[in-house]
């Protein structure tokens, strides 16, 4: 599948369109009584959220699929939050029902209001609100503490100064990789875009993984062809067996016909022989009678 210029289509309101430097995502609609619709079941009703970045997408790569999925999930959460903010403006569910969310029909908006007004949603919302109120500082560094993040930043700055003093030219990406480590198919600090890390060993590893995947696909294709070939051989064997049985049946019928024909010929010959024998016997009797009459005539002549 070519990288870049590829349009990802699905029957959902979370859609991704990729081209060099742009990923466009539109938010989801509703799901069921407990949640909004997932990106694979929603209707395309929400406006697009355009995320600008510099990347090429190849949907045959796992990393690229993860990038698109994470972007769509973020758009989904953002869209859900916007719907809730619209709902929260009104004092009651009944009042909210009278003011539909833009680009959403009555049925969908009713289901949204039912969700936001449910006891379970209200309970979770209250718990989350209470937990957020306890935060003095909003933490956005993931599992890494502020102290750890500060230490890593100081280490990167010191490493950059050291390289400059030694006359070496290191890019920010290389310094990031040395301090924070590398992650396959991803460069830290460049957002959600999918990039190859400039490490020869890692590039070789990724290339090897790609080749292994291609080899696996080729093996699966060969196995599929082998199964088709074996299936064809079985069909041919069955056809040969059927033909042999058919030929045996024809030969048996032919032998039966030959036997019947031979029997008929024998009977006919027997009848002919019998008739010939009767005729010979009749001729023999006639000769005997003629001989007897001659002898009687001779005897009568001698007496005279």
Q: Are residues 11 and 120 in the same domain?
A: yes
Domain count, the chain: 2
Same domain, 152 and 95: no
Tell me if 37 sits within 8 A of 13, measured CB to CB: yes
Same domain, 110 and 28: yes
Domain presence at residue 262: no
**Helix, strand, or coil here: 18?**
strand
Specify if 63 maps to a domain: yes
State the pTM of this model: 0.39
164 lies in which domain range?
Answer: 137-195
30 and 70 housed in the same domain: yes
Per-residue pLDDT of the chain (304 residues; tens, 9 = 90+): 333 433 333 333 433 444 444 444 444 443 433 455 444 444 444 444 455 555 567 777 777 788 788 888 989 999 999 999 999 999 999 999 999 998 899 999 999 999 999 999 999 989 988 888 887 777 676 667 778 888 888 888 888 888 777 777 666 667 767 777 666 555 555 555 545 545 555 555 666 777 888 888 999 999 999 999 999 999 999 999 999 999 999 999 999 999 999 999 998 899 888 888 889 988 888 888 888 888 888 888 888 7
């Amino acid at each position: 599948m070519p990288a870049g210029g590829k349009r990802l289509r699905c029957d959902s309101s979370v859609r991704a369109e990729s081209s060099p430097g742009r990923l466009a995502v539109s938010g989801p609609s509703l799901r069921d009584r407990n949640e909004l619709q997932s990106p694979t079941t929603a209707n395309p009703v929400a406006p697009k959220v355009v995320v600008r970045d510099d990347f090429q997408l190849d949907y045959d790569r796992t990393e690229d699929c993860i990038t698109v999925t994470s972007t769509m999930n973020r758009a989904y959460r953002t869209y859900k939050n916007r719907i809730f903010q619209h709902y929260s403006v009104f004092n009651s569910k009944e009042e909210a029902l009278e003011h539909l969310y833009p680009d959403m029909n009555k049925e969908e908006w009713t289901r949204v209001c039912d969700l936001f007004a449910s006891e379970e949603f209200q309970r979770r919302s209250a718990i989350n609100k209470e937990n957020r109120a306890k935060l003095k500082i909003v933490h956005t560094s993931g599992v890494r503490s502020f102290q750890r993040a500060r230490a890593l930043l100081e280490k990167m700055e010191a490493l950059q100064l050291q390289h400059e003093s030694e006359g070496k030219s290191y890019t920010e990406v290389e310094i990031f990789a040395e301090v924070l480590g590398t992650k396959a198919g991803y460069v830290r600090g460049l957002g959600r875009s999918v990039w190859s890390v400039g490490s020869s060993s890692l590039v070789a590893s990724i290339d090897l993984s790609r080749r292994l995947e291609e080899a696996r696909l080729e093996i699966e294709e060969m196995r599929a062809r082998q199964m088709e070939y074996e299936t064809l051989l079985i069909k041919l064997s069955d056809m040969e067996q059927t033909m042999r049985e058919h030929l045996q049946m024809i030969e048996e019928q032919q032998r039966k016909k030959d036997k019947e024909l031979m029997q008929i010929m024998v009977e006919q010959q027997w009848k002919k022989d019998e008739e010939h024998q009767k005729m010979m016997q009749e001729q023999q009797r006639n000769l005997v009678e003629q001989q007897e009459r001659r002898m009687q005539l001779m005897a009568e002549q001698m007496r005279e």
